[in-house]
Structure 1
Amino acid sequence: MRELADTCRIAVVQMQPTIFDRDTCASRMVETIDRVSRERPSDLIVFPELAIPGYPHGLTFGFVTGARRPAGQLDWKRYYDGSVLVDGPEVGAIAEAARRASSWVSVGISERDATSGTLYNSNVVIDPEGRVDAVHRKLKPTGLERVVWGDAQDHYFPTSDTPWGPMGTLICWVSYMPLARVALYQRGVTIYLAPNTNCNPEWQATLRHIVLEGRCFVVNCAPYVERADYPADLAEPEEVEALDEVVYTGGSCVVDPYGHYAAGPLWDEPGVIYAELDLQQVAASKWEFDPVGHYARPDVLELRVSDR
């Protein structure tokens, strides 16, 4: 492995979004980056899955098997209007904040494709110069997500060449796809970004499995969401009214290559957790197990990845 920076100072933002409101979400992210830069400068600042414009948990957007309700189309179009272009002003403002902070920034967005009407559940990585370095689209939206966001057609497994080694992303339940994880391991990731909306104990167990399997740091960034964060004037408000008062309790954390918490988990409130990652642990942990090195059998097992 190439020589890495010894440490990475990381800030994980358990953000409370205003769902459907891209401007408020983006402004809150810019304010958070600026505050972290002032109060506790960090090399890497991470935001949750779909931080813009929030994860619309509980909404069906009018879809039922074999039919669609017209009112749901109105809510979907509103969410579509709250989604953003990668080269749009919202990501641009976040990129400028990353430049001011001299930090790498990872942010989940509902991405509007510039050439079609499809949305993608995407993660954008911005470098300390304020440039978009990588865009990863969720390979397979989960469950009813498939009627909101499309399957990735490109941008599968990009990695960012950071001072602490390659950094890659898998969004939420794509981390349950074994071969997708291996695709990141083959790229040598030292930091595995896992933006998501899981707040259950089983997900915490998944994170600890991934670090022991991949011998890397895993950054679990989730939102804190209340029912009051939804608009009050949706076309189908009864779906929101049926939700619990607290929709997502968080659980953001950082797990080291040995399966131990380096920060968090943070529960039941929005906030920022901090850690200083010891990157020497990555190489040291591979002494006894390296999934794509001395513990691999490429003569028996082979993964082929399409990078269209």
Structure 2
Amino acid sequence: MRNHHVKVAVVQSAPILFDKQSAMDEIASMTKDAAEQGANLIVFPEVFLPGYPRGLSFGTRVGSRTDDGRRDWERYWSSAIDIPGAETQILCELAKELGVYLVIGVVERDQEFSTGTLFNSIVYIGPEGLLGKHRKLVPTGSERLLWGQGDGSTLTVIDTPFGRIGGLICWENYMPLARTAMYAQGIDIYLAPTADARDTWQATIRHIACEGRCYVISCNQFATKASYPADLAYYEDIKEDADILSRGGSAIVGPLGEYVVEPLYNQEGILFATLDLTQVTQSRFDFDVVGHYSRPDIFQLVVNDKKQEVVRFTKTRAKSGWNEE
């Protein structure tokens, strides 16, 4: 039987950048704090593990990269995680111990085809273990130097005891067709981890709530220069910037577009709210974007949800050599 109410916690913080253990320690500490206050669903920002490298150039210019920049990137790669892997196992044990659902923005290493590609991902974890992940479809701007592109196989929506949860990362939320693919999976709680602290982002999440008739949880980092290792080769990139590099703006929006919790700026914190999922159903009385307010006779969306393979072998290696499939 589905629970109609869920208490959610939205973490606005930042770990020490490039420091995987710092992020893991913060996740454990803040998850325990939130669980002690009754939270069932706990959401962490975009690439919280191991941090969003705002302002860093990694020594890149159009047409060239530097050796020092490559070393900074390798340091970032080393602080990323595998899914599944040692870190997700620890997080699964934490979620099981506390009986909570965790949604965490991570930097994920490709385990299948390459050892040199990273993804900006969301990982979903529950008391029963690892539930799924989503890889950002299109990294924004210079993020494309850091992260590869996800595919339609991770447009993930998870069924939980309190409703269906899923989400898109930062400027993916400006992709109307990607949003539609999420709505079509019956999403009740829409997660929008981001690195965008501008006022215009608030208009975005409120529009999504009105459009999808769902709760929207937006989660951003509060980051200062103190969270950046001073021994980075390109630390000079941010040396003259303001001390606050990301002011936050995490918020929770109801299914008719009103704030449940207004944006938090210029400080670290955890937002709490108890969501009434019956309001999602009520809100769709007069507008259901993929139901009675759709026109499939005019508009149709085709989603390729197959995993995209770079290499497909038609032979398998056996001890004695190659065997045909």
Which bin holds the TM-score, normalised by the shorter protein? over 0.9
Distance 1:281 1:296 in 2: 21
TM-score, normalising length from structure 1? 0.96
Moved more, 233-242 or 290-299: 233-242
CA contact (8 A) 2:57 2:234 kept: no
Q: CA deviation at 1:89?
A: 2.1
CA contact (8 A) 1:135 1:155 kept: no
Give the match's secondary structure for 1:174: helix
1:141 corresponds to which residue? 139
Tell me which of 90, 109, 113 is aligned to 2:110.
113
How many residues matched?
A: 304
Matches within 5 A, 1:128-277: 128-129=127-128, 131-153=129-151, 155-277=153-275
Tell me which of 275, 290, 293 is aligned to 1:292.
290
Q: CA deviation at 1:25?
A: 0.6
Distance 2:302 2:152 in 1: 16
Tell me which of 89, 94, 101 is aligned to 2:91.
94
Give the match's secondary structure for 1:27: helix
CA contact (8 A) 1:4 1:279 kept: no
**What stretches of structure 1 of length at least 5 have no aligned partner?**
none
1:125 corresponds to which residue? 124
Tell me which of 51, 59, 74 is aligned to 2:56.
59
Q: CA deviation at 1:174?
A: 0.1
Distance 1:80 1:15 in 2: 21
Distance 1:155 1:10 in 2: 27
Q: CA deviation at 1:267?
A: 1.2
Report percent identity of matched pairs.
43
CA contact (8 A) 2:56 2:235 kept: no
Matched letter for residue 262 of structure 2: G
Q: CA-to-partner distance for each residue in 1:228-253, whole Å, 9 max, x for gaps?
A: 11010011221121322100111111
Matched letter for residue 295 of structure 1: Y
Matched letter for residue 164 of structure 1: F
CA contact (8 A) 1:48 1:195 kept: yes
Distance 1:63 1:155 in 2: 31
Distance 2:285 2:39 in 1: 29
CA contact (8 A) 2:225 2:245 kept: yes
Give the match's secondary structure for 1:287: coil
1:29 corresponds to which residue? 27
Distance 1:243 1:228 in 2: 12
Indicate yes or no: 2:79 matched with 1:82.
yes
Tell me which of 11, 14, 18 is aligned to 1:13.
11
CA contact (8 A) 2:151 2:305 kept: no
Distance 1:143 1:63 in 2: 13
Distance 1:272 1:302 in 2: 40
**What stretches of structure 2 of length at least 5 have no aligned partner?**
307-325
Give the match's secondary structure for 2:154: coil
1:69 corresponds to which residue? 66
Distance 1:4 1:200 in 2: 36
Q: CA deviation at 1:154?
A: 5.3
Moved more, 81-90 or 181-190: 81-90
Larger Rg: 2
Matched letter for residue 303 of structure 2: V
CA contact (8 A) 2:152 2:304 kept: no
Q: CA-to-partner distance for each residue in 1:245-277, whole Å, 9 max, x for gaps?
A: 100111111100011111231111111110000
Matched letter for residue 104 of structure 1: Y
